[in-house]
Chains A and B, each alone.
Chain A
Amino acid sequence: MAAIVRRRRHNLPLLVGGALVFLIASSAAFAPLLTPLDPTSIDPAGRLQRPGPEHLLGTDRLGRDVLARILYGGRVAIIVGAVAVAIGAGVGVSVGLLSGYRAGRLDALLMRVIDGLMAFPALLLAILVVAALGPGHIQAMAAIGVVLIPVFARLARAQTLAARGQDFVTAARAAGATDTTIVLRHILPNVAGPLVVQATVAFSGAVLAEASLSYLGLGTQPPTPSWGGMLQEARDVLFVGPWMAIWPGVAIAAAVLGWNLLGDGLRDLLDPRLRRGPR
């Protein structure tokens, strides 16, 4: 434990990433306390106002406050990201555990399905699923979740394959543990570290994917504020209201950077063998 604490002291990615994630998550959670303005209330008289004391980041072409929309948009980003990662990790880890533990024909079959999903560029697969389900943030969650399944399945399978031959598994089996107990109580906790790191990195991918889908008009639908959707709206009035095109992008980049750094930091923390840096 002391070693972990010591490592954390020099773990800059973990600190910066953690701070960014905390900042974004808390400003989304406490959005109503940070701004009294409603992100969806339209004010035709106050259209396209430059950033000023009344609207710190200006207003959009319907007179809505850009700051309020960014704060509330953070909620959409985090919820879509969390649900998508939950779907991807839930399905992917289950498949991976089953595939790695059972091996044999079931493994071969499951891995072919996973290969099939990996044969598509990620964004294309998400777009295909949304094309089938229709646009919307619920559909986007499902689509991004599907895209995330293969990475979790592969990682969980590889980890399980490595763990199943080890002594603690043999010991558990000798003690009479059932397969379910062995997988859930013995293997899963042992392979959880890399999966947690993967989930953190996958979260940043999910935020980016949600923004991309919403930018294309396939994700979160207006009037619900989303960062990608705000950039799409900004594209039409780029030279009249450039502030609309700046801040939602900053929010996306900060969120993705935050979760990426947090993932890097966690990796260093959980697996010192992979630690990079001068000795």
Chain B
Amino acid sequence: MPFVLRRLLTVAPTVLVVATVTFVTLQVIPGDIAEIMLGTEARPEDVARLRQEFGLDRPLVVRYVEWLGHLVRGDLGTSISYREPVVRLIRQRLPVTLSVAAAAMFVAVVLAIPLGVLAARRAWSPLDLGVLAGSQVGLAIPTFWMGILLLLWLAAATPIFPLQGYAAFSANPLDWLRHLALPAVALGTERAAALVRLVRASVLDELNRDYVRTAHSKGLAGSLIMRKHVLRNSLIPVMTVAGLQLGYLMGGTIVIEQVFGLPGLGRLLLQGIYARDLVIVQGAVLTIALMFALLNLAVDLLYAVVDPRISYA
């Protein structure tokens, strides 16, 4: 079977596992879900109604199969706190989260590739050591603290960046960018710190190969070798990791959305938790995990396309 098809087939079990873990974790909560969701002061008849709505009187397996059935049809249930279908809530918020993750990835790549290449070309120079030390520090700074510092220093000092909120791209692209800039930098610098070491190591690895020496002895210019040979080869592993990090950023946005008051999936998830609205929690967790799985899939497929040396047959 061709690799692409086989890889596509592995997504289904992953999705099933993710759905199962999510369902089981939230259903095997100690105590009565209906009581937890409605609080201790709820009227007994409301609790009874909710119990029936959730089918809590039926066995777990039956509920699980039913829930999966709804899931397949794209029905994630109705939120108790919003009184709206969860799918609609998620659809409104998904673009925000994806925008933040993509913008952060952009910041990470734009920072990491030039810095990593520069560091590798001058390996063990003060510049290189500075990049390495900077990346250690960058990895240690929590993204939400970085966000708070950016708010403190940039948003307060300049009228360019708003303190809170989001603007849709379709409404006003410039406004969208202004709202995204700081969250993207906060989230992106941390990822850049991780990525820059990989770029450096990967470029350094390629620079020591025979074909580079051959190219030099042919009399090719250093910049040409770098651009045409070294970069192309060394960026393959970088791309894989960057793709995996895009998935990771889906998790990172949860905190950053909270710092900048962005109405994304992470915020929805937290509102669900604070309001004890487990239908929302289930839907949001599932969506974020699904995005994570799909992004990993996309990276794998792209990897096979970009690097012809790898045969998955």
Is A193 part of the contact surface with B, judged by Cβ < 8 Å? no
CB pair A257 B140 closer than 8 Å: yes
CB pair B289 A120 closer than 8 Å: yes
CB pair B142 A128 closer than 8 Å: no
CB pair B140 A123 closer than 8 Å: no
CB distance from B1 to the nearest CB of A (A): 20
CB pair A216 B270 closer than 8 Å: yes
CB pair A123 B145 closer than 8 Å: no
Is A91 part of the contact surface with B, judged by Cβ < 8 Å? no
> Could you say which interface size class chain B belongs to?
35 or more
Smallest Cβ-Cβ distance to A250: which chain B residue:
B145
- Given the interface pairs A254-B140, A257-B137, A260-B136, the reply to whether A123 lies near B152 with Cβ below 8 Å is no
Taking a contact as CB atoms closer than 8 A, the residue among B259, B278, B285, B289 that contacts A235 in the complex is B259
Chain B residues, CB < 8 A from A129: 25
Enumerate B233-290 residues with CB–CB distance to A below 8 Å: 247-248, 250-252, 254-255, 258-259, 269-270, 272-274, 278, 281, 285, 288-289
Stretch of B13-21, B68-76, B172-180 at the chain-chain interface: B13-21
Enumerate A240-279 residues with CB–CB distance to B below 8 Å: 242, 245-246, 248-249, 252-254, 256-257, 260-261, 277-278
CB pair A131 B273 closer than 8 Å: yes
Enumerate B106-145 residues with CB–CB distance to A below 8 Å: 124, 136-137, 139-142, 144-145
CB pair A261 B136 closer than 8 Å: yes
Smallest Cβ-Cβ distance to B153: which chain A residue:
A242
> Could you say which interface size class chain A belongs to?
35 or more
Is B26 part of the contact surface with A, judged by Cβ < 8 Å? yes
Chain B residues, CB < 8 A from A123: 251-252, 254-255
Q: How far is the CA of A257 from the CA of B141 in the complex (A)?
A: 8
Taking a contact as CB atoms closer than 8 A, the residue among B145, B251, B252 that contacts A231 in the complex is B145
Residue from A218, A231, A248, A261 with most neighbouring chain B CB atoms (10 Å): A231
Residue from B25, B26, B140, B259 with most neighbouring chain A CB atoms (10 Å): B140
Q: Mark A131-157, 1 if CB is under 8 A from B, else 0.
A: 111000000000000000000000000
Smallest Cβ-Cβ distance to A235: which chain B residue:
B148
CB distance from B85 to the nearest CB of A (A): 20
Is A38 part of the contact surface with B, judged by Cβ < 8 Å? no
Chain A residues, CB < 8 A from B254: 123-124, 127, 216
Is B151 part of the contact surface with A, judged by Cβ < 8 Å? yes
Is A208 part of the contact surface with B, judged by Cβ < 8 Å? yes
Chain A residues, CB < 8 A from B148: 231, 234-235, 238, 245, 249
Is A37 part of the contact surface with B, judged by Cβ < 8 Å? no
Residue from A127, A242, A252 with most neighbouring chain B CB atoms (10 Å): A127
Is B89 part of the contact surface with A, judged by Cβ < 8 Å? no
Is A46 part of the contact surface with B, judged by Cβ < 8 Å? no
Taking a contact as CB atoms closer than 8 A, the residue among B124, B248, B251 that contacts A278 in the complex is B124
Instruction: Tell me the dominant secondary structure on chain A's binding face.
Output: helix
Instruction: Tell me the dominant secondary structure on chain B's binding face.
Output: helix
CB pair A217 B274 closer than 8 Å: yes
Taking a contact as CB atoms closer than 8 A, the residue among A131, A216, A261 that contacts B258 in the complex is A216
CB pair A117 B21 closer than 8 Å: yes
Is B156 part of the contact surface with A, judged by Cβ < 8 Å? yes
CB pair B17 A256 closer than 8 Å: no
Enumerate B1-44 residues with CB–CB distance to A below 8 Å: 14, 17-18, 20-22, 25-26, 28-30
Enumerate B145-190 residues with CB–CB distance to A below 8 Å: 145, 148-149, 151-152, 156
Q: How far is the CA of A123 from the CA of B187 in the complex (A)?
A: 14
CB pair A119 B292 closer than 8 Å: yes
- Given the interface pairs A231-B144, A260-B136, the reply to whether A131 lies near B26 with Cβ below 8 Å is yes
CB pair B142 A253 closer than 8 Å: yes
Smallest Cβ-Cβ distance to A129: which chain B residue:
B25
- Given the interface pairs A124-B288, A218-B273, A260-B136, the reply to whether A119 lies near B141 with Cβ below 8 Å is no
Chain B residues, CB < 8 A from A252: 140, 142, 145
Is A165 part of the contact surface with B, judged by Cβ < 8 Å? no
CB distance from B185 to the nearest CB of A (A): 16
CB pair B29 A132 closer than 8 Å: yes
CB pair B136 A257 closer than 8 Å: yes
Chain A residues, CB < 8 A from B14: 115, 119
CB distance from B146 to the nearest CB of A (A): 8
CB pair A128 B140 closer than 8 Å: no
Is B293 part of the contact surface with A, judged by Cβ < 8 Å? yes
CB pair B140 A121 closer than 8 Å: no
Binding site for B on A (CB under 8 A): 112, 115-117, 119-124, 127-133, 204, 208, 211-212, 215-218, 228, 231, 234-235, 238-239, 242, 245-246, 248-249, 252-254, 256-257, 260-261, 277-278
Q: For the complex of A and B, list the 9 residue pairs with the smallest distance between their C-beta atoms, beginning with the closest.
A: A121-B251, A249-B145, A257-B140, A256-B140, A116-B17, A123-B251, A253-B140, A124-B251, A131-B273
Binding site for A on B (CB under 8 A): 14, 17-18, 20-22, 25-26, 28-30, 124, 136-137, 139-142, 144-145, 148-149, 151-152, 156, 247-248, 250-252, 254-255, 258-259, 269-270, 272-274, 278, 281, 285, 288-289, 292-293
22 contacts between A and B (CB under 8 A): A116-B21, A119-B17, A120-B21, A123-B251, A124-B250, A124-B288, A124-B289, A127-B270, A128-B26, A128-B285, A131-B272, A133-B29, A215-B144, A216-B270, A235-B148, A238-B151, A239-B152, A239-B156, A249-B145, A253-B141, A256-B139, A257-B136
